[in-house]
Chain A
Amino acid sequence: MGTGNSNLADQRVSDRMGTQTEVQFVKSVCLPLLRSTQNPDGGWGFHPGSESRLEPTCWALQALLQWSWPEIPEAAVHGFQFVREAQLRNGAWPSARAEQVGCWVTALACWVLLAEKNSSNAVAMGLDWLCKDWPQDSTLWRRFLARFSSQRHIFPINNSYRGWGWTPGTSSWVEPTAFALLAFGECPAELLPPTAARRRKLAEAMLRDRMCPGGGWNCGNPLVYGVAGEPLIIPTAWALLALRNQPERRENVLSLEWLEKNVANIQGPGSFALARLCLESYSRKWPDDAPGLRSFHQKNEFLNNIQVAAWSCLALSAKRPFLPVGLPSGKTS
Chain B
Amino acid sequence: MNARNAALVPSFQRPLSKVFIRRAANYEQELASLIYESLLEFKLPMKDKTVLLKPNLVGLDPLGVMNTHPAVVAAAREAFFRLGASQVLIGDGPAMDRDTEAVIESVRLREFAGPLARTFVDLNVDDMERVPLKTHASRLKELYLPKTALGVDFLVSMPKLKTHHWAGVTLSLKNMFGIVPGSCYGWPKNVLHWAGIDRAILDINAVARPDFAIVDGIIGMEGNGPIQGTPKACGVLVLGDDPVAVDATCCRVMGLIPQQVKYLARAGTLLGHVEASKIQQLGERIEGVKAPFAVLPEFRQLVA
Contact = CB atoms under 8 A, between A and B. Distances in A.
A46 B184 CA distance: 12
B137 to A, nearest CB: 18
A267 B106 contact: yes
Interface residues of B, number: 41
Contacts of B117: 300-301, 303-304
A267 B102 contact: yes
25 contacts: A46-B125, A50-B127, A51-B127, A56-B125, A99-B144, A166-B190, A166-B191, A167-B190, A171-B194, A173-B188, A219-B187, A224-B224, A224-B228, A225-B165, A232-B99, A267-B101, A267-B102, A268-B99, A269-B101, A270-B101, A271-B99, A271-B102, A299-B105, A300-B120, A303-B120
A136 B128 contact: no
Nearest to B109: A300
A99 B184 CA distance: 9
Contacts of B183: 46, 53, 55, 95
Given A46-B125, A55-B183, A267 B165 contact: no
Interface in B80-120: 96-106, 110, 115-117, 120
A268 to B, nearest CB: 3
Interface string A173-189: 10110000000000000
A178 B127 CA distance: 25
Given A175-B187, A300-B117, A304-B117, A225 B296 contact: yes
A161 B122 CA distance: 33
Contact of B100 (A95, A219, A227, A303): A303
Interface in A94-135: 95-96, 98-99, 103-104
B190 A230 contact: no
A296 to B, nearest CB: 8
A266 interface: yes
B43 interface: no
B185 interface: yes
Contact of B128 (A96, A103, A230, A302): A96
B102 A270 contact: yes
Interface string A301-322: 1111101100000000000000
A218 B96 contact: yes
B125 A267 contact: no
A170 interface: yes
Which interface class (under 10, 10 to 19, 20 to 34, 35 or more) fits A?
A: 35 or more
Interface string B177-188: 000000111111
Contact of A268 (B103, B144, B190): B103
Interface in A63-98: 95-96, 98
A47 interface: yes
Given A269-B101, A270-B99, A303-B101, A95 B184 contact: yes
B96 A267 contact: no
Contacts of A46: 122, 125-126, 183
Interface of B: 59-60, 96-106, 110, 115-117, 120, 122, 125-128, 130, 144, 165, 183-188, 190-191, 193-194, 224, 227-228, 296, 298
* Interface-central residue, B98, B99, B120, B185, by most chain A CB under 10 Å: B99
B105 A267 contact: yes
Contacts of B122: 46, 303, 305
B120 to A, nearest CB: 6
Contact of A165 (B102, B165, B190): B190
Nearest to A171: B190
A232 B190 contact: no
A103 B189 CA distance: 13
Contacts of B100: 268, 303
A167 B101 contact: no
A166 B186 contact: yes
Interface string A184-227: 00000000000000000000000000000000001100001101
B188 A268 contact: no
A35 B96 CA distance: 31
Contact of A136 (B96, B125, B194): B194
Contact of B186 (A99, A104, A300): A104
Contacts of A218: 96
Nearest to B296: A225
Nearest to B97: A232
Contacts of A166: 185-187, 190-191
Contacts of B224: 224-225, 227
A234 interface: yes
Contacts of A173: 186-188, 190
Contact of B188 (A219, A271, A301): A219
A269 B117 CA distance: 13
Contacts of A302: 101
Interface in A28-55: 45-47, 50-51, 53, 55
A170 B120 CA distance: 30
A300 B187 contact: no
A171 B98 CA distance: 18
A300 B98 contact: no
A50 B100 CA distance: 18
Contacts of B126: 46, 50
Nearest to B186: A166
A266 B105 CA distance: 10
A233 interface: yes
Contacts of A234: 97-99
Interface in A224-244: 224-225, 227, 230, 232-234
A169 interface: yes
B32 to A, nearest CB: 23
Contacts of B228: 224-225, 227
B99 A233 contact: yes
Contacts of A51: 127
A55 B181 CA distance: 13
